[in-house]
Amino acid sequence: MLSNRQIADSFDLLADLLRLKDSAGYRFEVIAYQRVAEALRELPRDVRAIAAEGRLQEIDGVGKAIASKITELLDGGTMRLLEDLKAEIPQGVVDVLRVNGVGPKKAMLFYQQRGITSIAALEAAAREGKLRDLPSMGAKSEQKILEGIEALARRTTRARADVALSAAERLLRPLQTVQGVLRAEIAGSLRRGRATIGDVDLLIASHDAAPIMEAFVNHPDVVRVLGHGETKSSVELHNGLQCDLRVVPPDRFGTALSYFTGSQAHNIRLRELALQRGLSLNEWSFSATDGSGAEFLCATEEEVYARLELPYIPPELREDRGEIEAAQANALPTLLEIGDIRADLHMHTTWSDGRLSVREMAWQARERGLQYIVITDHSQSLGVANGLSVERLWAQREEIQSVQAEFGDALRIYQGVEMEIRADGSLDYEDEVLAALDVVIASLHTALRQDRATITARLLNAINNPHVDIIGHPRGQLIPDREPADLDMDAVFAAALATDTVLEINANPHRLDLDSAHARQALKLGIKLAVNTDAHSAADFDVLPFGVRTARRAWASPEQVINTWSRERFEAWRQDAD
C-alpha cells in the first residue's frame, strides 16, 4: 500500500523524467506534477481516505487528469505513463539531476555520451577528467560537479532530531543497566539541540568498558558494526543512522562530555583559553604545558568551565557565536526552559484535521500543566484539511464556550484560527471575522515555491493586517527534504517588528521553523516569539522540547516568548493587538 510520501515521490519522479525527456516541451506538466508532489507531502490525511470520499480534486493542484493518476497509483502501485518513461530513461539519470549545477540537458548528455546512470559514476568520470571534452564542459565544470556531489552528500545524510533522539534513547536504555555504568549521556549535535543530526554521539562513565561495548554492538537496532574498540565503538542502525559510543572513567567524564558535545568551533575556543592559562585541553584532561606533567581531571563540565574561569555554558549555545564572550562578561542569557511554557497557542481539533475534539485537546493541555490554549483550526480555503467556513467557525465557538464552562478557571480556552494566506496573497476571512477571533495565526501552506518578491509580498500582506497576531511556521521548511520558501526575511522582520506580530517557532521536529538562526536574528531586533506544538493529536504535545531547544539555540529568554506569559499579560497583549 503506497503512502502519501511514496505517491508524492512518484509524481516527483514523473516530473524529473519528463524534464529529462524534453524540459521545454513539458514545462507545464513538470510544474503541475511537482506541485502535486508537494501538496501530497504536506497532506495531513491519508490520500487513500480522501480518494475514498471522492475528494481528490480538492487537493491543491489536483485536477481530473492528476486525480486519475493518483487513483491508478492507489489501485495498482504504479502508473502507465511513469512505467513508459522509466523504460525510456534509466532512473539513475534522475539521481544525477540532484547534483547542484546539473540540469536535464547535462544529465542526458552524460547519459548518452558517457553512459552515466548514477552519482557514483558521475563522480568517477569527473575525477578522471572524462567530462571536460563534452560540449560546453571543461575542467572547471568538472570541479563544480564534484563540489555539487559533496554538498549533496552533506544535505542528505543528516537525520531529523526526533529520529536521532529516539534512536539514542533506545540504544542507551539497555546500556544504562550494565553493571558499573555511572552516567550515560547523549553528546554531539543532538545534545546541542540542532534540528538535524549527522551522527549520534553517546558517552558513558564506567571503569569497565568491555561489557558496555559488547552490549552496544549487539543491540537489536544495530545492522552493522563499523568499529569495535576497547573504549570506543561505532555502529550503523536500521534507519541508516550512525552512532558512536565512548566509555571514559568517571573522573574524566567532564572533559570527555565537553569535548564530544562540541561544537568543534566551541572546543577550539576552549582550547585557546586553556593555552592562555598554560594548559592543554583535550577529551581526556587538562595538562600543564610547562613540562611538569601536571594533569587536572574534571568529572563534570562545570569543572571544565571553572578552570577556564567561565560560568557553565548550556550546550545549545556552544557554537562559537558569542557565547564565550558573553560568558566572560557574565552576560549569558537566562535561557527559556520547558517549565516556563504556560500555554500553547497553535493546535488543531476534529473541526479541521486534528484527531481529538476541543474537549479532549483541553484535557490533554490541562494534564500537561498548561494554563491557557488557543484552538487554531484551519481556515476555509484549505479544503483538504477540512478548513472551517465562517459558519462552522461560529459553531465551533459555541462548542469552545461550553467546554470552557466545564473547565472554569483550570484552563482558559481561546478561539483562534490558523488562517491560510492564499496563493494570491489575500487572506482567507474578512476582517470582521478576524476581529471576532481571540487570536489569528496566519500561515503559508500552498504555492511555497513562488519567487521571492511574490511570496514575500504575500507574507507581508498577512503581517500588516491588524488582526493577524502570529505568523505560523514562517519559512515553510520541512526537514529534511523541503527547503524554506524564498522569503526576504529582512522585510519580514521589519514588518513583524513594526506591527508587533509574533513569529512562531513551530516545535514539530519536521518543521522547527523559525530555525534557530532566524529566531535569534528576530529576537535581536526585538521581535517576540511563540513556541507552539501545532498539535494534531495528544502525542503531538510531546514535540514541545524540540521547539524549546530551538529557542534556546536562538538565545531566547522566557520574557521574549509570549506563551510563557501569565494569562493576564497575554490578554492585555491581545487587546493591544486588536
Q: Does 534 bind Zn ion (CB under 5 A)?
A: yes
- Which residues 6+ apart lie within 8 Å of 280 measured at CB? 271, 274, 286, 287, 288, 289
Binding partner at 104 among Ca ion, Zn ion, ligand DGT, none, C-beta below 5 to 8 Å by kind: none
Q: Which residue in 148, 188, 193, 354 binds ligand DGT (CB under 6 A)?
A: 188
Q: Residue 279: name the closest of 269, 290, 268 by CA.
A: 290
Q: Which stretch binds Ca ion (CB under 5 A): 189-197, 215-223, 409-417, 485-493?
A: 189-197
CA distances from 257 to 183, 186, 248, 389 (A): 11, 9, 9, 54
**267 is in the binding site of which of ligand DGT, Zn ion, Ca ion, none (Cβ under 5 to 8 A by kind)?**
ligand DGT
Strand, helix or coil at 231? coil
Stretch that binds ligand DGT, among 177-185, 254-262, 428-436, 487-495 (CB under 6 A): 254-262
- Listed in sequence order, the residues at least 6 apart from 7 whose beta carbon sits closer than 8 Å to its beta carbon are 40, 47, 70, 73, 74
Burial class (CB in 10 A: 0-12, 13-18, 19+), 110: buried
Sign of CA dihedral 117, 121, 123, 127: negative
Rounded least distance, CB 284 to ligand DGT, Å: 13
In the list Ca ion, Zn ion, ligand DGT, none, the entry touching 259 (Cβ below 5 to 8 angstroms by class) is ligand DGT
Least distance in Å: CB of 346 to Zn ion? 6
Q: Does 226 bind ligand DGT (CB under 6 A)?
A: no
Position among 148, 262, 315, 547 found at the interface with ligand DGT (CB under 6 A): 262
Site string for ligand DGT, 194-213 (x = CB under 6 A): ---xxx-x------------
Task: State the number of binding residues for ligand DGT (CB under 6 A).
Answer: 13
Burial class of 144 by CB neighbour count within 10 A (0 to 12, 13 to 18, 19+): middle
Q: Of the listed pieces 15-23, 113-121, 193-201, 450-458, which binds ligand DGT according to CB under 6 A? A: 193-201
Phi and psi at 224, nearest 5°, equal -150, 135
Is 353 a binder of Zn ion (CB under 5 A)?
Answer: no
Query: With binding defined as CB under 5 A, does residue 188 bind Ca ion?
Result: yes
CB of 144 to ligand DGT, least distance (A): 24
Would you give the binding string for ligand DGT spanning residues 387-406, x where CB under 6 A is met? --------------------
Closest approach of Cβ 379 to ligand DGT, in Å?
37
189 near ligand DGT (CB under 6 A): yes
**What is the C-alpha R_g of the chain?**
27
253 binds ligand DGT (CB under 6 A): no
To the nearest whole angstrom, how small is the minimum distance from the Cβ of residue 211 to Ca ion?
22
448 binds, among ligand DGT, Ca ion, Zn ion, none (CB under 5 to 8 A by kind): none
Query: Which does residue 418 touch among Zn ion, Ca ion, ligand DGT, none (CB within 5 to 8 A, set by kind)?
Result: Zn ion
Interface segment toward Ca ion; rule CB under 5 A; list 181-189, 268-276, 351-359, 537-545: 181-189
Query: 259 vs 555, which CB is nearer to ligand DGT?
Result: 259
Say whether residue 268 binds ligand DGT (CB under 6 A): yes
- Indicate the burial class of 288 (C-beta count within 10 angstroms; 0-12, 13-18, 19 or more): middle
Could you tell which of ligand DGT, Ca ion, Zn ion, none binds residue 340, using a CB distance below 5 to 8 A set by kind?
none
Strands 222-228 and 200-205: unpaired
Pull the grid cell for residue 227.
568499529
534 binds, among ligand DGT, Zn ion, Ca ion, none (CB under 5 to 8 A by kind): Zn ion
Tell me if 244 contacts Ca ion by CB under 5 A.
Answer: yes
CA angle 327, 328, 333 (to 5 degrees): 25
Q: Are 304 and 313 spatial neighbours (Cβ–Cβ below 8 Å)?
A: no
Query: Per-residue b/e over 383-392, b at no fewer than 16 CB within 10 Å?
Result: ebbbbbeeee
Report the residue number whose CB is nearest to ligand DGT: 262
Q: State how far the Cα of 94 lies from the Cα of 121, in Å rounded to an integer.
A: 13
Q: Which does 268 bind (CB under 5 to 8 A by kind): Zn ion, ligand DGT, Ca ion, none?
A: ligand DGT
Which residues contact residue 418 at a Cβ distance below 8 angstroms, ignoring those fewer than 6 apart? 346, 348, 376, 377, 378, 379, 441, 442, 443, 472
Of the pair 199, 283, the CB lying nearest Ca ion is at: 199
Q: Give 543's DSSP letter.
A: G
210 binds, among Zn ion, ligand DGT, Ca ion, none (CB under 5 to 8 A by kind): none
Supply 505's cell numbers. 517557532
Characterise 456 by phi-psi region: left (phi > 0), alpha (psi -120 to 50), beta (else).
Answer: alpha
| 44, 93, 411, 523 from 357: Cα distances, Å | 16, 48, 16, 35
**Total residues at the site for Ca ion (CB under 5 A)?**
6
By CB under 5 A, name the one of 38, 142, 418, 513 that touches Zn ion: 418
Instruction: Report the candidate in 336, 354, 335 with the shortest Cα–Cα distance to residue 541.
Output: 354
Residues that bind Ca ion (CB under 5 A): 188-189, 198-199, 201, 244
Residues that bind Zn ion (CB under 5 A): 418, 534
Residues that bind ligand DGT (CB under 6 A): 188-189, 197-199, 201, 259-260, 262-264, 267-268
